[in-house]
Chain A
Amino acid sequence: MSKSDDRSLGNIKSKPSPTVASNKDLPSISPKQGETGSIASPPKPSSDNTSVQLKSEKADLPQFEKGIIDSLVSKYGDSVKIIYVRPLRIKIEVPSKDIVEIARHIRDESGFDHAESVSATDYPKTGDIEVIYHLGSYTRDDLSSHILSLSTRTDRNNARLPSLIGIFKSVEYHERESFEMVGVYFDNHPRNDRFLLPEDWADIPPLRKEFRIKGR
């Protein structure tokens, strides 16, 4: 890995500022800029794909990752929204009504066979909750280093989503944790009940943003 020896503060600051990513409603940032690119240094920080503009610079997209999403986009069209494509990481956003169908397609056609983690994030500024499934693959060698982030959004006052437990058995405990930590109700999940918190927990779910911890 080529490294410059000069690693001063100025050097870090002087780097070209990359295109700001665009998770569309991270609080306090610029409005959405279409489907935009990545903030990422890829896993090997030496490569130069620091920012990727999906629409304008399609040639810069990593080819392999593009192949994965092309089949999805061709089949589901507008309902699949590509948030970013960077080396080894893809993030797509789908509407909640289509998520089961698209997840089945991802499992059967694209080859992602298990969920590594399910994270629910609360965005009070836009009034919704984002649920991300980080999907990985054990069966296909060429996909073993890739993570497909399948995300969907739901209204935070009435947070209900269809469960993916019929597609990926491995989401069972993760979804149960998301239910009690952020308060997303998963339809068709066998047990939406207490898991990590005490049995007598009588407060709002702790990872909601309006839950303040004491003294802070």
Chain B
Amino acid sequence: MIKDLVNPTNFNLMVSKVGDVLVRALDKPLGYAINWGRVWSLWPVHLETACCSVEFGAASGPRYDVERFGIIEAFGSLRQCDLIVVQGTVTRKMAPRLRMVYDQMPEPKYVIAMGACAITGGLYIDSYNVLPGVDGIIPVDVYVPGCPPRPETLIQGTMLLQEKIKRSKIK
């Protein structure tokens, strides 16, 4: 009977069943550990889309120092990044590149839309070359308003994102 149960044809099914059971058993403690790791080491992509990058730079400076909150300075390569901060206006020329950058990042990935232009188009809502908000291209997790947002606002936005990650279920 055991021979019937474990044979090459349904071995894969068997393993996945056992996996499911394991995941269900370990979901809580393991998920907490994985999320804890994700929360405190967010790697932002170094992609500047417009002028909010100045305030993003100031946020990584000594006075505001986002590294205190587990956001590492934006120098990593794409393959090890999991956060993309859209720093301001997204023009029609930048939009395909932004999507390309997003697609190249490994899962899980989070998006912060920084500044009024990234949220709705802001001051440039009637310009011919500007997208009305970045959420038409990529899914946004946290919106940080301001034109440009002060570094404190950006820090608050990232802390909101961390709250969101803590509460989310691991896949």
Contacts and interface: CB of A to CB of B under 8 A. Distances in A.
Interface of A: 197-199, 203, 206, 211, 213-216
B106 to A, nearest CB: 28
Nearest to A199: B93
Contact of A213 (B91, B92, B128): B128
A216 B92 CA distance: 20
Contacts of A216: 126
B136 to A, nearest CB: 15
B128 A206 contact: yes
B129 interface: yes
> Which 4 pairs, one residue from A and one from B, show the smallest C-beta to C-beta distance?
A198-B93, A198-B92, A213-B128, A213-B126
A197 B94 CA distance: 10
Interface of B: 91-93, 125-129
Contacts of B128: 203, 206, 211, 213-214
Given A198-B91, A198-B92, 17 more contacts: A197-B93, A197-B129, A198-B93, A198-B129, A199-B93, A203-B128, A206-B128, A206-B129, A211-B128, A213-B126, A213-B127, A213-B128, A214-B126, A214-B128, A215-B125, A215-B126, A216-B126
A213 to B, nearest CB: 5
Contacts of A206: 128-129
Contacts of B127: 213
B55 to A, nearest CB: 24
User: What DSSP secondary structure best describes chain A's contact surface?
Assistant: loop
A200 B126 CA distance: 20
Nearest to B127: A213
A130 to B, nearest CB: 22
B49 to A, nearest CB: 14
19 contacts: A197-B93, A197-B129, A198-B91, A198-B92, A198-B93, A198-B129, A199-B93, A203-B128, A206-B128, A206-B129, A211-B128, A213-B126, A213-B127, A213-B128, A214-B126, A214-B128, A215-B125, A215-B126, A216-B126
A197 B125 CA distance: 17
B93 to A, nearest CB: 4
Contacts of B92: 198
B82 to A, nearest CB: 29
Nearest to A201: B92
A203 B128 CA distance: 10
A68 B152 CA distance: 56
A203 B129 CA distance: 11
A160 to B, nearest CB: 25
A214 B125 CA distance: 9
A168 to B, nearest CB: 28
A66 B129 CA distance: 44
Contacts of B91: 198
A213 B125 CA distance: 10
Contacts of A197: 93, 129
A215 B125 CA distance: 9
A216 B93 CA distance: 23
